[in-house]
Amino acid sequence: MDSPRYTEKLVKSFESKGGLSHILLTHQDDVADADRYAKHFNARRIIHRRDIEAMPDCEIIMEDDEPFDIDDFTVISQPGHTAGHIVGLYKNRFLFTGDHLYFNRQTRRPDAFRDFCRYSREAQTESMRTLLNYSFEWILPGHGERGYLASDRMKIAMRELVQRMEDTP
């Protein structure tokens, strides 16, 4: 998910775990050295067409907003933070959210980054609503806190988040 700065220490760590086959770039401002990692590991980078200017030579471009599967991941369009923001759902348990959604430790519920919504709060709210169509237990953001709720509790908490976002646009 996304890309840190390229360092030998990280390369060795990734190599010890079998390397990388894909790099999901959730949005345009967290691509860092994805090109170097992709070249080193012969990995395929994934980005949405609306954020392509950040990494124009990506191997896999999400052309529209239809989710698609790669290995055990479902790639889901989630505009809001940026026009082309996407998230990755792994095995219907782990939702890698980039800068779109995080777990608020004080309230023990999912929350949306309001101050960092660069594209559209309305689109971000609608994106959260589409996540109600999926089952997951973990929120794993690029920034902010990660958190766990059993899938039935997570579904309720996500419905409540959508309601809060609708109530305070």
Q: How many Cα atoms are found within 13 Å in the side-chain-facing hemisphere of 139?
A: 27
Mean pLDDT, rounded, for 110-126: 89
1 confidence band (pLDDT: 50, 70, 90): confident
Q: Assess contact for 26 and 100: CB atoms under 8 A.
A: yes
Tokens for 55? 């990494």
pTM of the model: 0.94
Mean pLDDT of 130-145: 95
Asked if residue 116 has pLDDT above 80, the reply is no
**φ, ψ at 92 (rounded to 5°):** 50, 30
Q: What is the share, in percent, of the chain residues with pLDDT greater than 70?
A: 100
How far apart CA 38 and CA 45 sit, in angstroms, is 7
Tell me how many degrees the CA angle 38-44-48 measures, rounded to the nearest 5.
110
Which tens digit of pLDDT belongs to each residue from 7-29? 999 999 999 999 999 999 998 88
Over residues 83-104, mean pLDDT: 95
Q: Per residue in 59-69, pLDDT tens?
A: 999 999 999 99
Domains in the chain, CATH or no CATH each: 8-167 (3.60.15.10)
Q: What is the mean pLDDT of the chain?
A: 94
